[in-house]
Chains A and B, each alone.
Chain A
Amino acid sequence: MSQKVLAALTAAFPDAVVRTGSAHDDETAWIKREELLAVATWLRDDPAMAFDAPVFCTCIDWIDWRPVGRPVSEHWSETKPRFTVCYQLRSVAHKHRIRLEVELPEHDPRLPSLADVWPAFNWQERETFDMYGIRFDGHPDLRRIYLYEEFVGYPLRKDYPKEKRQPLVRRDDLPVNPLKAPHARHESDNK
Chain B
Amino acid sequence: MGLELSTTRLEDAAKWAKQSKLARVPEWGRKFSLFTYPFVTACCGMEFMSVAAPKYDIARFGAEFPRFSPRQSDLLMIVGTITEKQGPALKRVYDQMAEPKWVIAFGVCASTGGFYQNYHAMPGADQVIPVDVYIPGCPPRPEQVLDALMMLMDRIQDGRGHSQLRLKRDQMIASAQSDDGQ
Contact = CB atoms under 8 A, between A and B. Distances in A.
Task: Indicate if A touches B (C-beta under 8 A).
Answer: yes
B85 A147 contact: yes
A174 interface: yes
A168 B119 CA distance: 12
A80 B91 CA distance: 46
Interface residues of B, number: 19
Contacts of A164: 119
Contacts of A146: 120
A168 B127 contact: no
Given A155-B120, A160-B119, A171-B127, A165 B84 contact: yes
Contacts, number: 48
A37 B88 CA distance: 41
B116 to A, nearest CB: 10
B120 A147 contact: yes
A171 B84 contact: no
Given A160-B119, A167-B84, A188 B91 contact: no
Given A188-B11, A188-B12, A170 B128 contact: yes
A166 B126 contact: no
B117 interface: yes
Contacts of B12: 188
A119 B121 CA distance: 30
Contacts of A173: 7
A171 B119 contact: no
Contact of B88 (A161, A163, A169, A188): A169
Nearest to B121: A165
A170 B91 CA distance: 9
A contact patch SS: loop
Interface residues of A, number: 21
B120 A171 contact: no
A175 B128 CA distance: 11
A84 B88 CA distance: 35
Interface in B56-107: 84-85, 87-88, 91
Contacts of B11: 188
Nearest to A186: B9
**Which of B87, B119, B120, B122 has most A Cβ within 10 Å?**
B119
B174 interface: no
B7 to A, nearest CB: 8
B127 A167 contact: yes
B127 A170 contact: yes
A155 B118 CA distance: 10
B130 interface: yes
Contacts of A163: 117-119
B173 interface: no
A167 B128 CA distance: 10
A167 B7 CA distance: 24
B150 interface: no
B129 interface: yes
A188 B84 CA distance: 33
Interface of A: 146-148, 155, 160-171, 173-175, 186, 188
Interface of B: 7, 9, 11-12, 84-85, 87-88, 91, 117-120, 122, 126-130
Lowest 7 CB-CB distances: which A-B pairs, in order?
A169-B87, A148-B85, A169-B88, A162-B118, A155-B119, A168-B87, A169-B91
